[in-house]
Amino acid sequence: MNQENQQNQAGPAAEASWFRRLNLWGQIATIAGGVAAVVMAIVAIIALFPRPAPPPVPSPEPTAAPAVV
């Protein structure tokens, strides 16, 4: 009986604490989502500009075939 009374009395306060924690996690998730969106936007802007092509690799000079006597 005593335990039941304690649960009833702590109900609204415990629920508010739980909601406060949930609200905090919601804010953290919202901030993390915003940061991720900014990072993705920066990556997309960088991807719009093509990187310069690497310089061509010179082909080795063909060697002369040995003379057959």
In this predicted model, what pLDDT tens digit does every residue of 9-35 receive, in sequence order? 556 666 778 778 888 999 999 999 999
pLDDT digits (tens, 9 = 90+) for 47-65: 999 888 888 888 777 666 6
State pTM to two decimals: 0.50
Q: Could you tell me the maximum CA-CA distance found in the chain, to the nearest angstrom?
A: 115
Q: Report the helix count and the strand count for the chain, using DSSP H and E.
A: 1, 0
d(CA 50, CA 19): 48
